[in-house]
Chain A
Amino acid sequence: MCKPLQVKVFRFNPESDVAPKFDDFEVPVFDNMAVLDVVIHIQNYLDRSLSFRFSCRIGMCGSCAMYVNGRARLACRTQVSSLKTRDITIMPLPNFPIIRDLVVDMEPFFDKWKKIKPYYVPKRELDEPVTVQPNSNEREFIDDMLDCISCGCCYSACSMVATNKDYLGPAALNRAYTLIADKRDAIRVERLKVVDRSYGVWRCHTQFNCAEVCPKNIVPTRSIQNLKRRCVLKKFGIFK
């Protein structure tokens, strides 16, 4: 039998606690155990008041993102064995207001998501549907970036978000790029105006923290760098 895990969990209830604290739990290990199994075990058998979010358990919904041993990770996709230690510290995602324990308020994240109008707007004047070839470079690049599940890991890892509350953040900018790079979109220039600001793409300092933690292996920095180039082209009147 393996030694049990020593788990430290961040606890905070704004309605009753003055300050946050850590609770210690001893959790038995089983094969292929994920961090999500750890918190579920704590809630089922050790402390029913522990709050956290989860839904799909297969890395699709993006709701179980937590700050585990110094990194934002999806709890369901993080194997305990991959942490290479028996000591696990679980905290809520940084840079988000805390609702309770490991549950954070995603509203600031989605407010910024909304600013870039995250939906496709078709061109009305076209008679024929525009096609983008599946094997085109443009398509292949956008495809990778479309994998985003808006879990907020990148947003929580970004030190520019931590130091500037207005910065749009990696996820919103990545989403903006997928639409701006889509030639069928009718409001590409309008979108580019939203991101071409000091709190938009120019706030990114290419630290790659977002890409380091992305559970879907997206590199938002790449999208942001591409957006910066398009912003420069727009200044010279080349981007249309």
Chain B
Amino acid sequence: MTRLYRLTTGGKENLVTDEFLTTETTYSEDRVAPFREQTQYTADLDSLGRVLDWVMGDGAERFDDRSDLDAAVAPAVREFVNVPRRAAADEGIWHYLSIVWRPDYVRYRWTLERGNSSLTSLREKFTKSTRDLYAPAFARLWFMADFTKSDGGYRTTEKILKRQYSANRLFDRTDLRQRPVIRAIARVAYDLDDDEFIDDDDVFETVAKAVSHELTTISAESVGVDGMEKLVRQKYDRVTG
């Protein structure tokens, strides 16, 4: 297990330069020393590193679609950085992992080549806080996997993250980022054919939006997964009926 560090004040501001974003720059221990501090947490970064090496190397041709890359890496991030939520919400830890530990993966996933990402967008992958589940490179995967994992493992994580449109419709909405909600939607997604729900962008977005509206006046934690599932089905029936 490897001790986790966090970047402190001034770290991301000093280290995430245009040169850092556009070249293969990696920082030495001395360079980051003024901006880092040790945390009480550890992670299996060797194993996670091997997964990243594989998806960027031998396994690369299987991940032409960047959503497939997220679906493959997210369970590994959650599993090998097995820390409590308090640590997962510490943006300094994620900044350290993306800026100092594996900037190569972040640049690979959001490559500037072929116009896949803008400089601003790539910068945000290194610097955004954990409150934003769209941008921060590793943190977004940790939380998405945490919301979607179940006793059965990461089957749901993979099903949802393979579809970037659907994943964004869920995780961009603050009120849908709740375990009972995500699990209820996953149950319905497994019950229906993919092309009836999770692969039908219009239906999926309309249902997600309708559930989001309901959550302004309903407590998902109180009704639990069963209660939310009824609600999701009700919305689905209304949209498709």
Q: Do A and B bind each other?
A: no
Q: Which B positions have Cβ atoms within 8 angstroms of A?
A: none
Q: Which A positions have Cβ atoms within 8 angstroms of B?
A: none
